């Protein structure tokens, strides 16, 4: 102990400490060094939290998304082999002037069979991408060891065939609305163009219209599936898809054949205490879920 606290040891530790400090400073990002050397930082009394010095990322300078990717996969459901195409792609949402306003990312699973229905699925919000419905509910693959009882976040993820997938009877298109997943505003797009009830519904309706046109699926039965706030989006979307001169100013003329609500948020009024009518409405909305759970349990 005496050798450590006396003699050359302290000088060696001091030298090592100085070298570590110099090394850490040299590893600072260039932006951090620039802020440190900025003249405003040297002025006495300069505000430490001066927002004028912060740099806001330019959405036009975000790295471009990769081109659409396709692959063939297969699963076995109830002893039957099901071969399908997976597409991870992007469709561009446009503003009223036709200028690019947002990149909307999607994952689609399609089976090469005629007249198949197509289900457009999306999670809720804020910020919830469709990955939870994809790998945790109705997609062809299920992500094990994630979110299950007894699972650890450090467990290696594994994919298994999902015996409860809807792909057995419907093609699946999982949508990430702007602000979720890798979907984001571009060009003329602004937050207020997407972050509102009608604005959100309009951008998703525009995506569905573009997807139906790109893949020639206008004659397919169309189903909407929404979870949490996605259930409210699913309830509003039919109006946005049909359109009209008094709503959004355009007539898309797209009708849907079914709507599925999962973990519905309909009838919730978080800002005010519920009255008797709202409680009754909540019970009515919960009845289909109770009935499905009872049928599954029996």
The pLDDT value recorded for residue 58 is 55
> CA 225, CA 232: separation in Å to the nearest integer?
10
The pLDDT value recorded for residue 150 is 73
> CA 165, CA 172: separation in Å to the nearest integer?
10
The pLDDT value recorded for residue 201 is 86
Phi, psi of 84 (to 5 degrees): -150, 165
In the numeric block, the tokens 């999902």 are attached to: 162
The pLDDT value recorded for residue 105 is 95
In the numeric block, the tokens 């879920």 are attached to: 289
pLDDT along the chain (298 residues), means of 10: 39 38 37 36 40 46 85 93 96 88 94 94 84 92 76 79 94 94 86 83 92 94 91 88 71 87 69 62 70 76
The pLDDT value recorded for residue 128 is 86
The pLDDT value recorded for residue 107 is 97
The pLDDT value recorded for residue 75 is 94
**Strand ranges for the chain from DSSP E:** 69-77, 80-94, 100-110, 118-122, 141-144, 158-161, 171-176, 184-185, 222-227, 258-262
The pLDDT value recorded for residue 106 is 97
Asked whether 163 and 80 are in contact (CB, 8 A), the reply is no
Q: Which two tokens stand for residue 294?
A: 């009872």
């Amino acid at each position: 102990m005496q050798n450590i606290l006396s003699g050359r040891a302290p000088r060696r530790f001091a030298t090592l400490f100085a070298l570590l400090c110099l090394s850490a400073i040299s590893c600072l990002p260039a932006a951090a060094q620039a802020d440190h050397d900025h003249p405003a930082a040297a002025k006495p009394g300069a505000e430490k939290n001066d927002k004028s010095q912060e740099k806001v990322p330019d959405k036009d300078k975000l790295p471009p998304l990769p081109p659409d990717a396709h692959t063939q996969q297969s699963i076995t459901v109830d002893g039957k082999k099901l071969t399908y195409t997976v597409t991870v792609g992007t469709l561009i949402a446009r503003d009223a002037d036709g200028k690019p306003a947002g990149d909307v990312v999607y994952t689609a699973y399609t089976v090469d069979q005629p007249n198949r229905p197509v289900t457009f699925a999306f999670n809720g919000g804020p910020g919830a991408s469709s990955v939870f419905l994809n790998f945790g509910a109705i997609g062809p693959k299920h992500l094990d060891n994630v979110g299950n009882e007894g699972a650890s976040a450090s467990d290696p993820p594994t994919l298994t065939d999902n015996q409860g997938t809807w792909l057995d009877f419907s093609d699946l298109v999982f949508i990430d609305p702007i602000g979720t997943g890798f979907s984001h505003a571009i060009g003329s797009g602004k937050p207020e163009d997407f972050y509102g009830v009608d604005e959100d519904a309009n951008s998703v309706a525009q995506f569905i219209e573009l997807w139906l046109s790109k893949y020639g699926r206008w004659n397919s039965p169309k189903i909407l599936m929404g979870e949490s706030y996605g259930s409210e989006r699913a309830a509003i979307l039919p109006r946005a898809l049909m359109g009209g001169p008094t709503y959004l100013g355009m007539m898309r003329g797209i009708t849907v054949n079914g709507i599925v609500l999962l973990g519905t948020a309909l009838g919730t009024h978080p800002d005010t205490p519920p009255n008797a009518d709202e409680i009754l409405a909540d019970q009515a909305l919960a009845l289909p879920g109770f009935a499905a759970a009872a049928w599954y349990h029996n």
